[in-house]
Structure 1
């Protein structure tokens, strides 16, 4: 009987528990997979692989989805200036969709009969993974030990120790998830409504205090150069993160509505995503018309929320991506940003597509395209219907 199961593996507490439980309690042949979405160094990936084999997996595979993650997902978050609740750049939710899709494809490839993940029963990830597995692997069983057994972190640590696996309980206090589009941080403070994460919980310490200016070049909405150096967009994101995160920029706590209907808090540090979204948005405000900006804002909010809920494979997402891509034809130019401790400021932009051209006039100063008489007539016509409404509906004794 084929008892081959693919486990989404990160090397953390939950997925370490899953390896032992699936193997010892359920008798599965465990094939662990880590999907790298830009958050792991080669050394970290080697460490995760060694840990998987030490736990007893039959095979371990690393799938590098960094470029696919950018092209299929992150690119559109930049195009759409997507920040959930005007705060969160979807650091985890977007990458989970990419990871779940890659794992489903791998499970098909090795003809597994089951797939597993280490999500709890109280978060969004369980829905994202389950739903994508159900869409792409409708015939395969989904097993979720942490959710099904309703385990606490303390119970998981105790179980692993019973099986000879030592866990650093102090390190396990915080759940860290690092990817191309930011790092999430969860701990006891994020389970409250009033406590902020302590300094030691943040993965990147604040070491920079002197102001620094960076220059980002966008072509058709994509970041293609940083500080005068041409590079691909994923490199721009990664190098900008290295430059800006030591300022403590992009640290925040997001409060949001989960897919399962409860409120949740998560800490995150995402210097590069926040800088890129704000820089891109500034460039768009110079290069797009007001109705392009208006419809983009509405469709982007839907896109971000739907992606957050794991609905990446709905064809409406491809339709919105086509719209977003079309709007980026003229989003070209340079943006300068000044980095300060815990904040940044957008200095300004330079673009051949800048609609704020002095050839047509300077706002509040001088116009070159119309006369005062033109404005008098325009103002009268522009407000004509509202004037008629007031004349028709104002009582005679008040007129």
Structure 2
């Protein structure tokens, strides 16, 4: 019997896939749930039960939140990565990492086929396909939902015919919660005019009195929140979320180019990612040189795009990560952040590496490391080429 590994979430599409692969295709189905930090223990247990009730041979839960942070999220922080200056790649990064984890599990058990429940209309199909082809190139990739083009109603009727009786309510909004933010989709995100209403977001405003928090970074990594130290940065991220989410902070709508070539919109709420990235970025402005910041910004744009489009295994990402990590040697300090309903403000930083040191002068006030004559000579040399260009243009015009 052919062994197939299925990326399983317990929803309608992947439940259909279990029955289709097992009963119609006669395959031995091994389901995998990849927990990148977005599931509770109760949810994990419920998904496992659903998998066995559907008839899988084995079910495996890959707990990879720490690995997800180490191999992915920390580089998004180091690079201050925001797609189109807006979106912290909440789903993009998570999906490709889940795809890689499923592929690695399929390889480890010697599966000859690997399956996912993506439709043919979005980015996830490409992310899963690419990861599978790279990590298990000899395995057959099976995509029942994409290939059969079944409607939601047809999937439900098929499962009923197989004796699967469950409430398949279609939610008004599609919610995908994860460690690095939550995506929100609905009818409003399917056009270019409407916006998501308040009730669309899973976290509602419950705190109105403003407050301040502090974030402490050590070599670019978040190590403490409000002076509470964390051995595991994943827990530090969760702590920022717990403090900021009641203010309904971090909401926005991302508009971008999909991998398949069409424009798309997705709503999201990502209080922790946005606060951490903006705080980290401000700290970097104080401790890095302008050229470090310039090249980081350019590389971050490429890094975010490649990751978004499923190229997690591309070797150049490892090269960019090496640069990011090297750039963090002096990114150590504390950042103050003000939280308020629907917004936050990064107030200031303290760092032993702050290049805004008054030892050398205060901008617009006092200079201690140079003289007026130094600046006069510098300005003359700095303007030399453009001055020569201007004079040559004038001489050439006079000859006409």
Structural mapping, 1:52-67, within 5 Å? 52-67=51-66
Bigger CA drift: 364-373 or 331-340? 364-373
Q: Distance in 2 between the 1:44 and 1:196 partners?
A: 30
Q: CA deviation at 1:266?
A: 1.2
Q: Distance in 2 between the 1:186 and 1:151 partners?
A: 21
CA contact (8 A) 1:13 1:172 kept: no
Other-structure match for 2:357: 357
Q: Secondary structure at the match of 2:328?
A: helix
Other-structure match for 2:128: 129
Structure 1 unaligned segments of length 5 or more: list them: none
Structural mapping, 1:1-399, within 5 Å? 2-231=1-230, 232-394=232-394, 395-397=396-398
Q: CA deviation at 1:285?
A: 0.1
Q: Secondary structure at the match of 2:329?
A: helix
Structure 2 unaligned segments of length 5 or more: list them: none
With over 3 angstroms needed to count, the CA separation of the structure-2 counterparts of 1:154 and 1:186, relative to structure 1, is farther
What RMSD, in angstroms, separates the aligned Cα atoms of the two structures? 1.6
Q: Distance in 2 between the 1:244 and 1:166 partners?
A: 39
Q: Output one character per residue of 1:89-122: Cα deviation in whole Å (capped at 9) or x when no partner.
A: 0111111121111111111222212111111111
Q: Secondary structure at the match of 1:373?
A: helix
Q: Secondary structure at the match of 1:129?
A: helix
With over 3 angstroms needed to count, the CA separation of the structure-2 counterparts of 1:201 and 1:16, relative to structure 1, is farther
How many correspondences in the alignment?
Answer: 398
Q: Distance in 2 between the 1:272 and 1:140 partners?
A: 38
Q: CA deviation at 1:243?
A: 1.4
CA contact (8 A) 1:37 1:64 kept: yes
Q: Distance in 2 between the 1:225 and 1:61 partners?
A: 33
Q: CA deviation at 1:160?
A: 2.8
Q: CA deviation at 1:365?
A: 1.3
Q: Output one character per residue of 1:57-103: Cα deviation in whole Å (capped at 9) or x when no partner.
A: 22111110000000000010000000000011011111112111111
Q: CA deviation at 1:53?
A: 1.6
Q: Output one character per residue of 1:118-173: Cα deviation in whole Å (capped at 9) or x when no partner.
A: 11111111111101100110110011111111233333333333434345454544
With over 3 angstroms needed to count, the CA separation of the structure-2 counterparts of 1:192 and 1:169, relative to structure 1, is farther
Bigger CA drift: 254-263 or 164-173? 164-173
Q: Distance in 2 between the 1:174 and 1:153 partners?
A: 15
